[in-house]
Structure 1
Amino acid sequence: MHWRKPRRLLFLCASLDLSACLILAALLDQTRRTDLLGQPRWLIAFALLYLLFGWLFGTYTVLRWPWLRLRLVILRLMITALATMLVVALMDWLFNLPVGLYLSHRSTQTFLLGSLTVWALLVRLGLRWLGRHSPQRDWGLMATPHEAPAILREWQRTPFAVTPRVLTPAGHAFPPGGVVLGSDLRLAPDQEHQLQILGDNGVPITTVIELAERELERLPPALLPADWLSQADIPWSDTFSVQRQLKRVADVVVAVLLLVVCLPVMLLAALLIWLEDRGSVFYVQERSGWMGHTFRLLKLRTMTRADPNAPASWTLPGDCRITRVGQLLRRVRLDELPQLINVLKGDMSLIGPRPERPEFEAELEIHIPHYRKRYWMRPGLSGWAQVCAPYAASLEEAELKLSYDLYYLHNWSTALDLLILIKTIKIILKAGGR
């Protein structure tokens, strides 16, 4: 899976942090006569709490941001340590933890978290240094004059991606680190011969579509040929596949559990919506779903009651139609909870491309190639586009989100769904909704 490779470093860093916590606990047992290793459940819980806050506050994603300033890295690590200490103190205050629990002692926490912060900083600085000084593959791009600017633009708008350099006829004599072939390129016999020589010498040769999947983790629709992908080529096509059946079972089970757990929250949100303007609590809207069939999508109302005859329009950041309660619900995505009913009905899945309003589709189909292919899977509450791209409020942003939807369509798997679920939880905990 393309998306796994860049995240291996994050898992390595988390493993080093966990190992450091256990080593420091053993060191503390030897020097201060504590017995942290004799209380393994509490020690593991403490370490996992530290890792959780580190993940939440972005101390692992800094590995993918080499330009992030040192003081911001230190700040994130300090916030992680402080949050861990505050939660332990809160647990001690609420449940009156036993005196014999060494992790409840302030001096023990200070030593462990202080040492962990120094260790984590050194690990991140070391891994970032290795990343900056490790050899980067120098991709050379062979594409038509019409296609090359579009390819370069897609790489330039994506963080972490190294933009390929366009190969000129004079530059073909110098073998690059790898050659990328544009979709519209038609090779002359001498070019085919030159590429064969490069391939025989071990120079990687790939297509722009394969490289986009690997480096951008999306598939820009403007770069895809007209005949790209048929329904038979997608992992979802086999109706009786184990993964597809598991996805539906997971949808139903998780949706039922979430409805039961979140019912008090939904009732409270509904009350706040009604108290603000005495209007309707729910908002029902036509959306396009599986194979373009429309269905009635349920949401908690977050905007003022609109004129039913008003034309459809994008929701912009800071939109004046969003109510005060609606702003809060949107930030933590609680307005989407009623869509769990749509999941149970089979209109939607938990994970998949977000359903769009039919009023927008005519324009989007005209300007964005391959747009209808996003409906070859059931729409979802969350998706690859939702966790990787900002909320779409323009044609350009809709095209960007479609590139993530097409990647998900082509690479769907249970593991990718789990990654999207984890990233969605992080967005909710950080109140990062729109």
Structure 2
Amino acid sequence: MNDPRTLLVRAVMFDWLGQLLILALVMLFQGLAGLPSDGITLFSQTGWLLFMLLLYPALGWLFGSYTVLRWRRLTLPVLLQRLLLTAVATLMVVAIVRWLLNPGVEVWLVHRRVQLLWMTGVSGWAFAVRLAMRRGLLLPESPRLFLLAEPDEIAQVMWAWKRVPERQRLWPTQPEVLLERMKRMDEPLLLAITPALRQHSELLPLLECSETSDPREIRMLSLLSLFQQQQERLPPAFIGQDGLAYDDLPWAATFSVQAQLKRMADLLVAAALLLITFPFVAISALLIWIEDQGPVFYTQQRSGWLGRPFWVIKLRTMSVQPSHEPPSWTKPGDHRITSVGGWLRRFRIDELPQLFNVLKGEMSLIGPRPERPEMEQELERQIPHYRKRHWMRPGLSGWAQVCAPYASSVEDSDLKLSYDLYYLLNFSTWLDLVILFRTIKTVLKAGGR
């Protein structure tokens, strides 16, 4: 399966190859680059070379030139725009660093003409690589996804599937139609079967055919496995009453090494972030007070480990509300958000005081976001398995925060819970790092809400 992180890693590797090949061409045609005819080597500027090799993919990741690989349809104008932004940003960063460090003339790698030729060639290479990856030239062909379900199940499954629209299309079908397609074998197939349909006798020929077929060409899996593999979430509506137990979780052991490492990382990183971000918090607090002379900080009760309440502390981003005001969802463009608060939310600066909650052990850096207890009472009634998100300490950021839109309704909370449940079942240090980097990307792009 070509999951998003596999696509990202392979695209980065191809981009590195392109950077080196284009640079080799620049060195080969020295006159075109305005370089002297002899004595051109890279040994004296290895640091600059490594800087460029890391800078270009980092900015490509920030501006979304890798994200387009996951889209159902590759829009060429958008791809060109993102590659152009990446190239321009790379040239600007190199120019700024060059001005700050002022290297000697012998460091030809950062000369303007070399940089322009290099980035022009790399942009063309990156464009060709992304087209080739999408058309199956540099990657194995992605399987066609089919759904086998009872007629009354199809609408619910398809509604859940289309909530993540940028991923691969899912095709509902019938056993006899699918059996005929399997005999032709013109493309790899991935078949998801609901539990109710597995009991039907007309499915036996299809099951027998799949068992005798190459598993690289035909694979059958459960509905939940399909959502896990293709959308990296677990819709709660499709999890049985006993479908997810605490013993299934990666840190269920009493002395889990992963859990201990996670807590140690929380303490070290939270302490470091408090020191680094203190100036930003202080300036933000001053701006909040200047805007309306109201309180700078805002405390609110939230549900933590096993649903136990605790108090979070945040920088205030809304106008002061009456104490009797009932709790309500925060919606995009909410009139209660102040001018300063809007900017603090976009860069998530308002969340930084919660690092104290991390140090106290009430929260983690990565985990399901804590919700207000009075809001959760309604969510628990309407969404199955909701309380299972309390099996881990709540976090400053989480898989749901970097994958799902802002929750402003029960339906949005159901979607976010599907990502939280996936995180619970697939927790690892690697996944925490993925969430951390995607959170950094959101902050740098001012994408908070």
| TM-score, normalised with respect to structure 2 | 0.91
- Deviations 1:312-358 (CA, angstroms, capped at 9, x unpaired): 00000000111111000100101000111000101110000000111
- Deviations 1:289-325 (CA, angstroms, capped at 9, x unpaired): 1100010011110000011110000000000111111
**Paired residue for 1:195?**
207
The equivalences for 1:14-93 within 5 A come to 14-32=12-30, 33=36, 34-93=40-99
Which moves more between the two structures, 30-39 or 227-236?
A: 30-39
Q: 1:236–1:377: 8 Å Cα contact kept in structure 2?
A: no
Q: Check if 1:141 corresponds to 2:147.
A: yes
Equivalent residue for 1:8, pick from 6, 9, 28: 6
Q: 1:235–1:411: 8 Å Cα contact kept in structure 2?
A: yes
Aligned counterparts of 1:139 and 1:25: Cα–Cα separation in 2: 41
Aligned counterparts of 1:133 and 1:413: Cα–Cα separation in 2: 26
Cα separation, partners in 2 of 1:230 and 1:182, compared to 1, 3 Å: same
Cα separation, partners in 2 of 1:166 and 1:323, compared to 1, 3 Å: same
User: Which ranges of structure 2 fall in alignment gaps of 5 or more residues?
Assistant: 31-35, 183-188
**Paired residue for 2:185?**
none
Cα separation, partners in 2 of 1:156 and 1:99, compared to 1, 3 Å: same
- Deviations 1:69-98 (CA, angstroms, capped at 9, x unpaired): 212211111111111111122223334333
- 1:11 Cα shift? 1.2
**Paired residue for 2:311?**
296
Q: Report the 3-state secondary structure (helix = DSSP H, G, I; strand = E; otherwise coil) of the residue aligned with 1:305.
A: coil
- 1:137 Cα shift? 2.7
**Paired residue for 1:342?**
357
**Paired residue for 2:392?**
377
- Deviations 1:350-392 (CA, angstroms, capped at 9, x unpaired): 0000001111111111111111111111110000000001110
Q: Check if 1:153 corresponds to 2:159.
A: yes
Aligned counterparts of 1:13 and 1:361: Cα–Cα separation in 2: 41
**Paired residue for 1:276?**
291
The equivalences for 1:13-412 within 5 A come to 13-32=11-30, 33=36, 34-130=40-136, 135-168=141-174, 170-171=176-177, 173-174=179-180, 176=182, 177-185=189-197, 187-192=199-204, 194-202=206-214, 203-412=218-427
Q: Report the 3-state secondary structure (helix = DSSP H, G, I; strand = E; otherwise coil) of the residue aligned with 1:286.
A: strand
Aligned counterparts of 1:88 and 1:201: Cα–Cα separation in 2: 53
Amino acid at match of 2:80: I
- 1:63 Cα shift? 1.5
- Deviations 1:128-163 (CA, angstroms, capped at 9, x unpaired): 222799654334433233322111112222234334
Q: Report the 3-state secondary structure (helix = DSSP H, G, I; strand = E; otherwise coil) of the residue aligned with 2:135.
A: helix
Cα separation, partners in 2 of 1:322 and 1:103, compared to 1, 3 Å: same
Aligned counterparts of 1:36 and 1:173: Cα–Cα separation in 2: 59
Q: 2:3–2:230: 8 Å Cα contact kept in structure 1?
A: no
- Deviations 1:212-266 (CA, angstroms, capped at 9, x unpaired): 1001111111111111111111112113111111000000000000001111111
Aligned counterparts of 2:315 and 2:71: Cα–Cα separation in 1: 36
Q: Report the 3-state secondary structure (helix = DSSP H, G, I; strand = E; otherwise coil) of the residue aligned with 1:336.
A: helix
Aligned counterparts of 1:232 and 1:8: Cα–Cα separation in 2: 29
- 1:193 Cα shift? 6.0
- Deviations 1:26-52 (CA, angstroms, capped at 9, x unpaired): 333343244345311111112211121
Which moves more between the two structures, 320-329 or 89-98?
A: 89-98
Q: Report the 3-state secondary structure (helix = DSSP H, G, I; strand = E; otherwise coil) of the residue aligned with 1:369.
A: coil
Q: 1:290–1:375: 8 Å Cα contact kept in structure 2?
A: yes
Q: 2:148–2:175: 8 Å Cα contact kept in structure 1?
A: no
- 1:186 Cα shift? 5.6
Cα separation, partners in 2 of 1:170 and 1:81, compared to 1, 3 Å: closer
| TM-score, normalised with respect to structure 1 | 0.94
Aligned counterparts of 2:138 and 2:163: Cα–Cα separation in 1: 20
Cα separation, partners in 2 of 1:114 and 1:164, compared to 1, 3 Å: closer
Q: Report the 3-state secondary structure (helix = DSSP H, G, I; strand = E; otherwise coil) of the residue aligned with 2:136.
A: helix
Q: Report the 3-state secondary structure (helix = DSSP H, G, I; strand = E; otherwise coil) of the residue aligned with 1:235.
A: coil
Aligned counterparts of 1:180 and 1:370: Cα–Cα separation in 2: 23
Number of residues of Structure 1 aligned to a counterpart in Structure 2: 432
The root-mean-square deviation of aligned C-alpha atoms, in Å, is 2.1
Amino acid at match of 1:158: V
